[in-house]
Chains A and B, each alone.
Chain A
């Protein structure tokens, strides 16, 4: 069975500081991994995805994530936080069967001026 764990339900950073949101996964098959962002009162939108190509994945809005098989991790980073980055972030894993995504519990990112 697959699962995803996001460390920290809430992360707070200052504007301009590094953003690091942690995600660890468990999968018995090579996983497909995703980061989604949810702004208040909106649906989720895809930030980036890993599908067994390059291990460093670049996404929208300056975010990137690195797949580390040895650590079973897929942490999300952004060099410099912006106020507009404040949102809920979800890591997700798929086994490529039927398109089913298993989501982590989410991390709320707050950005202080």
Chain B
């Protein structure tokens, strides 16, 4: 069983569209994250949820809205997609005390 799974793996869409990326973890972790990796492989945190509560919200446009229906899921919805949103988005989870992040395999978003 995959520990952190995210879908879809690839997402190609037109500018202006709305899209969602789903993430699920079966590790029983309390905390989940979204990271963005740009074309230069730079990784930056976007959001973090702990037990469904938002605890980290970096400077991210309002077009990005995370939603955590339960502590095993953290979805990312993006409105009005722009060319600059093209990147690989990684979901991750951790148990606070262990402070080790488990990453999903990424969603490559291409906005045309």
Q: Interface residue tally of chain A, by bracket? A: 20 to 34
Which of A36, A94, A102 touches B99 (beta carbons < 8 Å)?
Answer: A94
A45 to B31, CA, bound (A): 17
Q: Which of B18-60 contact A (CB under 8 A)?
A: 31, 33, 40-45, 48, 50, 55-56
Q: Are B56 and A98 in contact (CB under 8 A)?
A: yes
Q: Are A105 and B99 in contact (CB under 8 A)?
A: no
Q: Are A103 and B90 in contact (CB under 8 A)?
A: no
Q: Which of A27-78 contact B (CB under 8 A)?
A: 32, 36, 38, 41-46, 49, 51
Given contacts A43-B4, A105-B40, A105-B42, whether A32 and B48 have CB atoms under 8 Å apart is no
Q: Least Cβ distance of B55 to chain A in Å? A: 5
Q: Which of A79-113 contact B (CB under 8 A)?
A: 88, 90, 94, 96, 98-103, 105-106
- Asked if B105 is at the interface of the complex by the 8 Å CB criterion, the answer is yes
Contact residues in B for A88 (Cβ distance below 8 Å): 41
Contact residues in A for B90 (Cβ distance below 8 Å): 43-44
- Asked if B66 is at the interface of the complex by the 8 Å CB criterion, the answer is no
Given contacts A43-B90, A51-B99, A99-B31, whether A105 and B48 have CB atoms under 8 Å apart is no
Known: A41-B105, A98-B56. 8 other contacts (CB 8 A): A42-B106, A43-B104, A43-B105, A44-B103, A94-B99, A98-B48, A99-B101, A103-B44
